[in-house]
Amino acid sequence: MPTPSDPAPCDLDEQLYECLECGERLCSASSPPACPVCDGVLQNLSRPRPE
Ligand SMILES: [Zn+2]
């Protein structure tokens, strides 16, 4: 049984980041300083929550 691609893999209190260099995506509740794969710049793909 193939694993379905999840459009929202992050928890509610996490945000999705994408590396501008290698395209690696990761979820983190805190703001990661750099890509864990290539140490490149991360872009926050999630909008900050107004709380
Ligand atoms: Zn990267």
Full domain range(s) for residue 25: 15-44
Interval between CA 44 and ligand 1 midpoint (Å): 13
Any domain includes 9? no
- Which residue numbers in the chain have pLDDT < 50? none
- Structural domain includes residue 10: no
CB atoms within 10 A of CB 18: 16
pLDDT of residue 20: 96
pTM beyond 0.85: the answer is no
For residue 24, being part of any structural domain is answered with yes
In a domain, 2, yes or no: no
Confirm whether 33 is domain-assigned. yes
Enter the tokens of residue 9: 């893999």
28 in a structural domain: yes
- DSSP-derived letter for residue 22 is T
Which pLDDT score, from 0 to 100, does residue 17 have? 93
Spacing, Cα 47 to ligand 1 middle (Å): 20
Distance 17 CA to ligand 1 centre (A): 10
Residue linked to tokens 């890509």: 35
Number of separate domains in the chain: 1
Which pLDDT score is estimated for 12? 87
Would the CA dihedral through 11, 14, 18, 22 be positive or negative?
Answer: negative
The answer to whether position 7 is within a domain reads no
Q: What is the pLDDT of residue 22?
A: 97
Q: What is the pLDDT of residue 9?
A: 72
Output the CA 39–ligand 1 centroid distance in Å. 6
State the distance from the centre of ligand 1 to the C-alpha of 42, rounded, in angstroms.
Answer: 8
- As a whole number of Å, the end-to-end CA separation of the chain is 40
